[in-house]
A and B are shown apart, each in its own frame.
Chain A
Amino acid sequence: MPDPIFDEMKGTDGTIRPAYAKLGPWLDAMPTERLAARQRDAEALFRRIGITFAVYGDPTANERLIPFDVVPRVIDSNEWGLLQKGLTQRVKALNAFLDDVYNRREILRAGKLPAEMIYSNPAFRPEMNGQKAPHDIWVHIAGIDMVRVDAETFYVLEDNARTPSGVSYMLENREVMMRLFPELFASHRVAPVENYPDELLKTLKSAAPSSAGDDPTVAVLTPGPYNSAYYEHSFLADRVGVELVEGRDLFVRDEIVYMRTTQGPKRVDVIYRRIDDDFLDPLAFRPDSALGVPGLVGAYLAGKVTLANAIGTGVADDKAIYSYMPDIVRFYLGEEPILKNVPTWRCREPDALKYVLEHLHELVVKEVHGSGGYGMLIGPAADKATREAFAEKIKAAPDGFIAQPTLALSTAPTFVESGLAPRHVDLRPFVLTGRDGVRIVPGGLTRVALKEGSLVVNSSQGGGTKDTWVLDV
């Protein structure tokens, strides 16, 4: 028998944990039909508030309502305190690492990381060699994916240091919950998340280049309405109160970035870009990019505009670099990492490869550059033929794969067709880094695998989301 799975509400022994002291009995007293009615209300509200996901109604588009679960996931203040410290530490290390990788490369000289992990990494940007990011901040907005396996242990599953998404769900989930369950908010002291847009704006303004005035102009750069995350881009621009620009709204003259407005050109100091590096500037990267702004990279390198996140941050959130994160934290901060890494076998190392091939049935194997839950093998769930086919893929290109033990992800009570049932969850807190420090809105986005027994929480694979409560006591 494997160890029992840790449940956020009931632990492993079935007694209600302190964070759920009030919610647990409330759920017990709630008739299933009433919860079902609230669930339907929630969906109706999403169709109104999160209007564009649903109402586009275009069967050929990818936009749809991501399932929402009305039962919140609750974290108590002690647990959160520890996570907060750990996240701050981790993101500081990511920033120090990026500054080093593109400049002095002390970590390579110290032999903590094989040089080819950097140089042969497709996310490494040679254009950034010898470049400093404004105020040494590379990752202004990070989304750190975490899972829990027992009362004490949270693991970092993945660092997202490029353009992490999902924060609009965090905000809307809360808005919907406050409308549907005012009585729960009256009986719980839930730390607010509504200030995220303000914190984001402060962070972005603080990161403006020194040449900007006292009140820097910030804009959100989107690939446009046909991007699947466009709704989030417009939502954020709206909440933050800045313009949502597309590449064609911007132009660069004498290394200064302007947006075209009805009153003529207006200088832009900080760009929160939700476009990948490759598409930012057809002059610097992909020449066929119609989404970007010619000359943007030149303006950035001249220090006339801040890009959030900086160019080339992908080298830090790569799954192969991930396995070195504990060493990266120790190397730059001289501290023991607070957040644990999932033990990882790098298939590029012959011993690890051998182990992985022998233990495929109990491991999760991931592509180093993959994301969204695609291209992975969940050993225990796969049949023999699938495992053998996957083994051939690994042998053909071992550098492209890492393996991890199958984690017993914690579960949280979730309202499904049959009523309340435990479902596996993860957590993506959003970490903001500005010149004036690190800001983390308490909680983040909880994703839940709605299928019984499923460990894959990605929305592309049938996952949903929950509101995440950090209790303020």
Chain B
Amino acid sequence: MLSRHADSLYWLSRYVERAESLARILDATQRLANAPTSADKASNEWESCLESAGAADAFFERYDTANEANVTEFLTLSPDNPGSIANCLEIARSNARAVRTSLTVDMWEAINTAWLDLRAYSGRKLQGEEAGRFLEWVKAVSLRFDGSAYRSMLRSESYWFTRLGVYVERADTTARILDVKYHVLLPVTERVGGSLDYMQWAAILRAVSSVTAYHWVYRDSVKPWLVADLLILNPAMPRSLYSCYDGVVRHLELISDAHGRQGPAQRQARAIRTRLATTRIEDIFQSGLHEYIQAFIADNNRLSQSVTTQYLV
């Protein structure tokens, strides 16, 4: 297929997934911010939210302090933020439009309807409950798009590149959501493992809709290393970094089988999956969760770069 088409499909699904990620990060932050805190606590959840979304630099060019209202506005609808949810959906649609013939009607309608619905929000500032409804809507858009791709696309290169985009982006998101916890420094009076700490880890589970999954898998109260195990290493957990990389490897292999040759992208992806399969969560905490996640995000970016050079240009 045309490299440009593969590129558009890859980024189309990445941007839809990214819109969902932003919605989830905002949602997680909302829950953290609502955690009962001691009065002297400086409100830093919203800064950490910006860090996780990779939007802190752009944000502080415009604002002095981060609070619920301005961070929510900046990450949802702000035309000033090229990485806002609205802009992600805008970019996703322009990619969709460029490869209209490679999409099924269901996929096109999913993304185009979202884009049309989004227009109703233009110029608005979302607050409180309304912001919550908007974030739910964004998740629904992503689910509809993902579902229509899964159910209606022919299993060929078009589909494989679409999935590849989803897994690469989802891996990035999961890593970033986990990292939120690092950025939310515990107030000095709180002890690690205390009730506030508990609230924060539970909020992360909720952000990835995995509270029930957690209890089913571990049959235990929320513990940091188990949450990290679930989201990093657990092969049964669809958002885990391991599962994402299993998806990346499988779809890259479908592509290389069809082409009859492999390249650096396949080798890199397999190496990342192998590392995830052979690491223990104790090792990760020993060397530092934050450092581990940062290294993973960098590996994931390198993989994406290899996919680009190998197939998309």
Interface residues of A (CB under 8 A from B): 48, 51-52, 55-57, 224-225, 234, 237-238, 243-246, 248-249, 259-263
Complex CA distance for A48 and B255, rounded to whole angstroms: 32
B6, B100, B116, B255, most chain A CB atoms within 10 A = B100
Residue among A48, A52, A237, A244 having the largest count of chain B Cβ atoms under 10 Å: A244
User: Does the CB pair A238–B259 fall under 8 Å?
Assistant: no
Besides the contacts A55-B108, A243-B1, what 5 more A-B pairs have beta carbons closer than 8 Å?
Answer: A51-B109, A249-B3, A260-B4, A262-B3, A262-B311
In the complex, which residue of chain A has the Cβ closest to the Cβ of B96? A225
Contact: B2 with A249, CB < 8 Å? yes
How far, in angstroms, from A420 to B188 measured CA to CA in the complex? Answer: 82
A244 nearest in chain B by CB position: B101
Q: Is the CB of A259 within 8 A of B101?
A: no
Residues of B within 8 A of A224 (CB): 98
The reply to whether A225 and B3 contact each other, CB–CB distance below 8 Å, is: no
In-complex Cβ contact of A261 among B3, B97, B98, B108 (8 A): B3
CB-CB nearest in chain B for A220:
B101
Question: Is A262 touching B105 in the complex (CB atoms < 8 A)?
Answer: no
Asked whether A246 and B116 contact (CB < 8 A) given A52-B100, A234-B101, A262-B255, the answer is no
List which B37-59 residues lie within 8 A (CB) of chain A. Answer: none
Chain A, Cβ-Cβ closest to B310: A262
Contact B157–A262 (Cβ < 8 Å): yes
CA distance A467 to B105 in the complex (A): 24
Flag if A225 contacts B112 (CB, 8 Å): no
| Cβ of A402 to closest chain B Cβ, rounded Å | 40
| B116: chain A residues within 8 A (beta carbon) | 55, 57
> Which residues of chain B are within 8 angstroms of A238 by Cβ–Cβ distance?
101
Q: Which residues of B contact A261 (CB under 8 A)?
A: 1-3
Q: Is the CB of B101 within 8 A of A248?
A: no
The 10 closest A-B pairs by CB, nearest first: A260-B3, A262-B311, A238-B101, A234-B101, A262-B6, A263-B259, A225-B97, A57-B116, A55-B112, A249-B4
Please determine whether A225 and B98 come into contact, CB atoms closer than 8 angstroms. yes
- Which residue among B98, B101, B108 has the maximum number of chain A CB atoms within 10 Å of its CB? B101
CB distance from A202 to the nearest CB of B (A): 21
Nearest-CB residue, chain A, relative to B1: A262
Q: Which residue of A lies closest to B312 (CB)?
A: A262
List of A residues within 8 angstroms of B259 by Cβ = 262-263
Check B2 against A260 for contact (C-beta < 8 Å). yes
The reply to whether B2 and A243 form a contact with Cβ atoms under 8 Å apart is yes
**Pairwise interchain contact A51-B2, C-beta atoms closer than 8 A:** no
Return A234 CB to nearest CB of chain B, in Å: 5
Binary per-residue interface labels of chain B (302-313) against chain A in the complex, 1 for a CB within 8 Å, 0 otherwise: 000000000111
Within 8 A of A (CB), among B195-248: none
- A259–B108 CA distance with the chains assembled, in angstroms: 25
Contact A245 B2 (CB under 8 A): yes
User: Which residues 74-103 of B have a CB within 8 angstroms of A?
Assistant: 94, 97-98, 100-101
Please report the C-alpha to C-alpha distance between residue A225 and residue B100 in the assembled complex, in whole angstroms.
9
How distant is A311 from chain B, measured CB to nearest CB, in Å? 24
On chain B, the residues within 8 Å of A55 by CB distance are 108-109, 112, 116
- When distances are taken between beta carbons in the complex, the residues of chain A under 8 Å from B312 are 262
A259's contact among B2, B94, B100, B255, by CB below 8 Å, is which?
A: B2
CB distance from B290 to the nearest CB of A (A): 36
Given contacts A249-B4, A259-B2, are A234 and B100 in contact (CB under 8 A)? yes
Q: Please, what's the 1-or-0 string for B157-177, where 1 marks a CB less than 8 Å from any CB in chain A?
A: 100010000000000000000
In angstroms, Cα B120 to Cα A57, docked, is 13
- Name the residue of chain B whose CB is nearest to the CB of A236: B101
Within 1-52 of B, Cβ neighbours of A (below 8 Å) are at 1-4, 6
Partner of A248, one of B4, B108, B109, B157: B4
**Whose C-beta in chain B lies nearest to the C-beta of A234?**
B101
Say how far B294's CB is from chain A's closest CB, in angstroms. 31
CA distance A243 to B2 in the complex (A): 7
Establish whether residues B157 and A51, one from each chain, have CB atoms under 8 Å apart when the complex forms: no
| B6 nearest in chain A by CB position | A262
